[in-house]
Amino acid sequence: MTDKQLEQYLLQSLNMALGSQIQGETSYTQSFDCKVGEKGFLFIPRLPSGYVIDNELYQTIFLIANAALYPRYTLLKQNSAYFVPFETDDIHTQRGLYFPWIKGISKRLVISDLEQFANSNLGTTIPIMENLVIDYEKVTSIAIAGNSGSGKSYALTYFLSMLKPISDLIVIDPKFDTPSRWARFNDIKVIHPEQNRSKSDFVSQINEELSDCLQLIYKRQELLYDNPEHKFTHLTVVIDEVLALSEGTNKNIKESFFSLLSQIALLGRATKVHLLLVSQRFDYNSIPVSVREQLNVLLQIGNINSKTVQFFFPDLNPDGIVIPVGMGTGLIMVIDNEHPYAVLPLLCPTYYTKKGIL
């Protein structure tokens, strides 16, 4: 399909579906036009118009166009109307609504041997889907959220396996479950609860480990001061079910835990110290707001609605985003200078690993 044919198709879809929202005005009466580009399309209204050009109209056009373009293109959901100016002397058409897209749809990776795949020569990149790869050099911290049974542990095991060749790991597992078994199979340090030990004592041990990480950050900062090009080995602190640590813990110990997390999240990027956090939800009881603001790879797995996305994507209305049905599906946002600043449908990789881990 040529760009011209695609423009005509979009115009026909909008003319038929907008209906009374723009009071009968159509492209046939030159009330608006569409232009297709490489990275998205433009809705160009002709002003003055008999309809209001606002966020409500923008989101309505998104719903129409996203369904019409699926599966050739995936529109990137915006939090509000995306206006762009045109270089033209005609004041009637000097602005338009822009709808960015990516070609195709999200496709799940299927990996026959996870260990072999992780040890293949991928550098510091971590494939998430067939059309989405992240570079760990540009990652500050990762968070995985989702309701019980959504596939968080399965996704975490994938990240642990992919990080092992490129990063030192410290695994903290309050549930003494899948991450502990994975760490045992892979000879990785893990902190988990033990019998006859209080919750506060367990979190105190975690605080000591986090304090050591913070001291490492300070030492690395001194090295960077003398040599800004110094290369460090990545270190990732992995915490499963963060909410289980912060709830029911002594207030002073919890405040220390939050303070250490915040400092690592804020200072760790330049020194290659990262957080990988997993929780059913990431409200203020789970982690400090300052930590949440430093997360730049966000995965929301499982049930997607306005309530479940409120902590990762507070301004997002998920209506209209096509999310495939199945385990390990949801939304992902990667905040860096390579990927579009938008939420994408997520399909976590399917893989096979050693018996007894999951």
Does residue 358 lie within any of the structural domains? no
Q: Out of 83, 103, 123, pick the residue that ends a domain.
A: 103
40 labelled binding-site residue: no
Same domain, 344 and 212: yes
The sheet with strand 329-334 has its strands ordered as 190-191, 167-172, 234-239, 273-279, 141-146, 297-301, 329-334, 344-347
Same domain, 132 and 224: yes
Q: What's the pLDDT at 20?
A: 67
Same domain, 175 and 76: no
The domain of 254 spans 110-351
Which DSSP letter does residue 348 get?
A: P
151 labelled binding-site residue: yes
Does residue 356 lie within any of the structural domains? no
Q: What's the pLDDT at 139?
A: 92
Per-residue pLDDT of the chain (358 residues; tens, 9 = 90+): 788 999 999 999 999 988 767 777 888 888 899 999 999 999 999 999 888 899 999 999 999 999 999 999 999 998 889 999 998 899 999 999 999 999 999 999 999 889 899 998 778 999 999 989 999 999 999 999 998 888 899 999 999 999 999 999 999 999 888 999 999 999 998 999 888 778 889 999 999 999 999 999 999 999 999 999 999 999 999 999 998 888 778 889 999 999 999 999 999 989 999 999 999 999 988 999 999 999 999 999 998 988 889 999 988 888 888 888 888 899 999 988 776 678 999 999 999 877 666 6
- Tell me the C-alpha distance between 88 and 220, whole Å: 53
Q: Out of 70, 103, 136, pick the residue that ends a domain.
A: 103
Q: What secondary structure does DSSP assign to 11-42, as a single string?
A: HHHHHHHHGGGGTT--GGGTSEEEEE-SSEEE
What is the rounded end-to-end Cα distance, in angstroms, of the chain? 45
Same domain, 259 and 193: yes
Does residue 229 lie within any of the structural domains? yes
| Polymer length of the chain | 358
Does residue 36 lie within any of the structural domains? yes
CATH number for the domain harbouring residue 281: 3.40.50.300
Q: What's the pLDDT at 355?
A: 67
Same domain, 76 and 139: no
Does residue 92 lie within any of the structural domains? yes
- Tell me the C-alpha distance between 273 and 196, whole Å: 32
**Contact criterion met (CB below 8 Å) for 333 and 89:** no
Q: What's the pLDDT at 64?
A: 94
**Contact criterion met (CB below 8 Å) for 228 and 266:** no
Same domain, 69 and 157: no
Does residue 357 lie within any of the structural domains? no
141 labelled binding-site residue: no
Q: Out of 87, 103, 119, pick the residue that ends a domain.
A: 103
Same domain, 154 and 223: yes
Q: What's the pLDDT at 358?
A: 63
248 labelled binding-site residue: no
Same domain, 76 and 119: no
Same domain, 200 and 307: yes
- Tell me the C-alpha distance between 315 and 57, whole Å: 17
Q: What's the pLDDT at 292?
A: 93
Does residue 43 lie within any of the structural domains? yes
> What total number of domains does the chain contain?
2
Q: What's the pLDDT at 316?
A: 86
Beta-carbon contacts of 180 under 8 Å, excluding residues fewer than 6 positions away, are: 171, 173, 190, 192
148 labelled binding-site residue: yes
Its pTM stands at: 0.90
Does residue 74 lie within any of the structural domains? yes
149 labelled binding-site residue: yes
Same domain, 69 and 170: no
Same domain, 157 and 91: no
Same domain, 189 and 250: yes
